[in-house]
Amino acid sequence: MIPANFDYVQVDTVDEAIQALGEHGDEAKLIAGGHSLLPLMKFRLATPAYLVDINRLDDLKYVRDSGDYLAVGALTRHCDVEKNDLIVSNAGVLAKATHNVGDPQVRHRGTIGGAIAHGDPASDIPSALLALKATVVVNGPEGEREINIENFFTGFLETDLNEDEMLTEIRVPKLPDAKWSFQKFNRRAQDWAIVGASIVCGEGHAGVGLVNMHSVPFRSESVESALLNGANAEEAGELAAEGTEAPSDLNASRDYREHLSRVLVRRGLQEAGR
């Protein structure tokens, strides 16, 4: 399967990328790892006229300790996130969720920025970032803005990014003492989650992100507030499907997904010591 024709440019700086996006408007798309975009283009579900390749922006491949938070460059590949010592020790749930993405070949190409910017409710990585209460930094012609991850996802495969903006950094709060769990239910090893859950419980911190339970990556405020009010795993897990609008598809009905969410959140909370 071959994508429809497009013009291709490689850019070397964030400014060049933003400029290219500004010139071509909604005809243009950034390509990072290409592991969400190229499959869509091969099926002709996406037919951008201009492809702006940001793979050479080596300045956006990093994980840094910035005091209260870890700064992760948008072009950091999954294989470099999952094994990064800073991430493993301060945000374990992100390392685990990233390790659960696809297979080694996919993780050699896919990027954290791409996984977020795609806005896919079935993606594992946003759930971990929701549970950690991360923020994302986007750059555009007017400069930089920082957005809470939960406000970033606005609809199915839609985000708060303007046409001429790009994601440059993810800021992950450091929670070295928090207990966490990542739960993923699928049928075959490399598959996407039918339902997944990221859980982070720390001092004054309760974070619960769900995979594939809504049109957007979903933060379960019901479970979080129950936890902050002292609920145990059983009690809080019962609330997992509250507020969700899970899809029904070939893999699972909505009812079944709701059931899975309760089971996975309960198991996750137990693993996280609740």
The window from 48-56, 90-98, 140-148, 219-227 that contacts other proteins (CB under 8 A) reads 48-56
Please tell me the distance from the alpha carbon of residue 40 to that of residue 120, in angstroms, as a whole number.
13
**In the complex, minimum distance from the CB of residue 230 to ligand FAD, in angstroms, rounded to a whole number:** 32
Q: Which of residues 35-54 bind ligand FAD (CB under 6 A)?
A: 35-37, 39
Residue 248, amino acid? S
Give the closest residue to 166 by CA, choosing from 58, 29, 46: 29
Q: Which of residues 183-202 bind ligand FAD (CB under 6 A)?
A: 192
84 binds, among other proteins, ligand FAD, none (CB under 5 to 8 A by kind): none
Q: Which of residues 105-164 bind ligand FAD (CB under 6 A)?
A: 106, 110-111, 113-115, 117-118, 123-125, 161
Which 8-state DSSP code applies to residue 252? -
155 contact partners, CB below 8 Å, separation of at least 6? 119, 215, 216
Q: Is beta strand 143-148 parallel, antiparallel or unpaired with respect to 166-173?
A: unpaired
Tokens in use for 113? 């920025």
Give the closest residue to 202 by CA, choosing from 132, 263, 270, 134: 132
Closer residue to ligand FAD in complex, CB, 35/262 = 35
Tokens in use for 46? 């996406």
96 binds ligand FAD (CB under 6 A): no
Q: Which residues bind other proteins (CB under 8 A)?
A: 1-8, 10, 31, 34-35, 38-39, 42, 51, 53, 55, 79, 102-106, 108-109, 189-190
Q: Which residues bind ligand FAD (CB under 6 A)?
A: 29-37, 39, 74, 101-102, 106, 110-111, 113-115, 117-118, 123-125, 161, 166-167, 192
